[in-house]
Amino acid sequence: MPKILVTGGCGYIGSHTIVDLIETGFEVISLDNLINSDESVLDGIFQITGKKILNFAVDLADREMLIPVFEQNSDIVGIIHFAALKSVNESVHRPLQYYSNNITGLINLLDLSERYSIKNFIFSSSCSVYGDSDELPVTELTPLKEAQCPYAYTKQAGERIIQDVTRVRDNFSSILLRYFNPAGAHHSALIGESSRNIASNLVPVITETAIGKRQSMTIFGSDYETRDGTCVRDYIHVMDIARAHTLALRYLLDQTEKQNESVVFNLGTGEGITVKEAIDAFEQVNGIKLNYTYGQRREGDVVAVYANNKKAQEILNWIPSRDINEIMRSAWEWEKVRSTIH
């Protein structure tokens, strides 16, 4: 079984991807310093797959501490690099922490992947690299505009660093996956999103309001030029995102000749949903009335962004199969479990 190193394997998207990798026949080790997660997620992965995943609780920014991980696992054939700090708002207030963590971590990993002859690399990028895009839906060729925050800049810079390395390194291939708005949880409700940070993304804010952790929530802005005045986003189920990684890995491993160019894919459903529609879906699917009000626009929000995902469909054979209803159903099931254990 090919061995894959997943960085950030205890985090939200990393843990769901590990499940899909295992179920597809990969062997997985995780590297996660738990700055935004907890190793208890590995119990959930065990319950779903029957496999115990080993996590190396090491900081990617600490190069010396990484070496034993690679020494002990000389048979790693690919790296999926999720580990990063990801809060837009926090990055504005702590830019150096974001640059240091996200960029140094990436550089160390790329450096060690050369030293240990690891030829396949997948990077978690984000639709935030497009900035306030002029065209909709965005394709992989849509020009990247100015990053709106330090977090988004770490993704633009990360992509560029990987592209530059891929261009000159023999026998090395990389894929850059630009996620739109990942949400939802594994259908078993044994794993889901459980960030240490206070939630600010729409779906966890909705479920936290429904369970009573928040008294009410605010829809940020009701006077945008959209069909109901609220912002439009492309919510993509985390298990569909997970599957895209497995397919991307297969694509890299099946290549007979390395291409010296990073391949970029948008990971979204292709469908824009308004905030109001997302809330309506939650209420309808789960039979719960949500306590919300309309408030001011949130600074930095773009009016609308959604993906053209044809490239991933055509090249990776990736067909996202879960809709906003399944996102809201699974997110709610997970919230109910989470609130009993945390």
Distance CA 236, CA 178 (A): 12
| Residue 90 near which of ligand WQD, ligand NAD, none (CB within 5-8 Å, type-dependent) | none
Quick one: CA torsion of 41, 42, 46, 51, rounded to 10 degrees? 150
Coil vs helix vs strand at 333: helix
Which of the ranges 12-20, 53-61, 108-116, 217-225 carries the binding residues for ligand WQD, by CB under 6 A? 217-225
Q: Is 151 a catalytic residue?
A: yes
Asked if 86 touches ligand WQD (CB under 6 A), the answer is yes
What is the sign of the dihedral through the CA atoms of 58, 63, 69 and 73?
positive
Distance CA 169, CA 171 (A): 6
Total residues binding ligand NAD (CB under 6 A):
28
Asked if 301 touches ligand WQD (CB under 6 A), the answer is yes
Q: What is the DSSP string of 95-122?
A: HHHHIIIIIIHHHHHHHHHHHTT--EEE
The one catalytic residue in 12, 151, 179, 251 is: 151
Please pick, from the candidates 233, 237, 243, 322, the single residue that binds ligand WQD as defined by CB under 6 A.
233
**Of 118, 189, 168, 180, nearest in space to 337 by CA:** 189
Q: Which of residues 169-208 bind ligand NAD (CB under 6 A)?
A: 179, 182, 195, 201
What is the sign of the dihedral through the CA atoms of 169, 17, 38 and 149?
positive
Asked if 61 touches ligand NAD (CB under 6 A), the answer is yes
Asked if 37 touches ligand NAD (CB under 6 A), the answer is yes
Please pick, from the candidates 4, 84, 219, 249, the single residue that binds ligand NAD as defined by CB under 6 A.
84
Asked if 13 touches ligand WQD (CB under 6 A), the answer is no
Q: Which is nearer to ligand NAD, 102 or 230 (CB)?
A: 102
Distance CA 30, CA 11 (A): 10
Asked if 177 touches ligand WQD (CB under 6 A), the answer is no
Q: What are phi and psi of 26, to 5 degrees?
A: -95, 155
Distance CA 1, CA 22 (A): 10
Q: Which is nearer to ligand WQD, 45 or 217 (CB)?
A: 217
Applying CB under 6 A, the residues found at the interface with ligand NAD are 8, 10-14, 32-37, 59-61, 82-86, 101, 105, 124, 126, 179, 182, 195, 201
Q: Which residues bind ligand WQD (CB under 6 A)?
A: 86, 88, 126, 128, 181, 200-202, 205, 217-220, 231, 233, 275, 298, 301
Question: Which residues are part of the catalytic machinery?
Answer: 151
